[in-house]
A and B are shown apart, each in its own frame.
Chain A
Amino acid sequence: NAGVTQTPKFRILKIGQSMTLQCAQDMNHNYMYWYRQDPGMGLKLIYYSVGAGITDKGEVPNGYNVSRSTTEDFPLRLELAAPSQTSVYFCASSYYTGFNEKLFFGSGTQLSVL
């Protein structure tokens, strides 16, 4: 099994550009998450989804949008990129079975906005 697949691994954007970070999981997990991690810091939750068609904001949603049309895919859209969005982005998925089971992470996307 591939687990959680994130693309691209690296990307450089110019201020004001837009892009979509792709995330796919093949474990039939109901929950999916997007986190960002600034250098030397912990992970901050951007958005999460409890199932296809259902998404909700996390701690730092401003400047981002998500959609979840299928169980497998959870893309993250950056509109009008800003230097403050320079970070490492991690997608994760898990089962929720009455409690949150362990998170499976993708390998991350290093994004620089210049």
Chain B
Amino acid sequence: QQPVQSPQAVILREGEDAVINCSSSKALYSVHWYRQKHGEAPVFLMILLKGGEQKGHEKISASFNEKKQQSSLYLTASQLSYSGTYFCVAGNMLTFGGGTRLMVKP
């Protein structure tokens, strides 16, 4: 079953922060996060393997709560280059969530 992401879309001004959430009805053992720009393939951001472990990529970090079957992606001091659609991916079959469209404006 597809992970559920929220919000579906968010608009930020440069320098603002955002949080994207991902939840699953099934037990999660790992979560991937990807970013996709228009017309391009998704690009890997990070994998989270352990409950509560945070990983970082530039000013993007994430947490993973295995018990709650949830993961969150934190974007701090957003830059124009952060614009795109963010996907969480979970499960043995690597099922993609519905995506969160992020737009960063100057």
Number of interface residues of A (CB under 8 A): 22
Classify the secondary structure of B's interface with A: loop
Q: Do the beta carbons of A48 and B44 come within 8 Å of each other?
A: no
**Size range of the interface on B?**
20 to 34
Tell whether A105 pairs with B95 under 8 Å between CB atoms, given A42-B2, A99-B29, A99-B30: no
- In the bound complex, what is the Cα–Cα distance between A33 and B64 (angstroms)? 25
A-B contacts counted at CB < 8 A amount to 54
Distance (Å) between the CB of A105 and the closest chain B CB? 4
A58 at the interface (CB under 8 A from B): yes
A41 at the interface (CB under 8 A from B): yes
Q: Do the beta carbons of B87 and A43 come within 8 Å of each other?
A: yes
Interface of A toward B, CB cutoff 8 Å: 33, 35, 41-45, 48, 58-59, 90, 94, 99-108
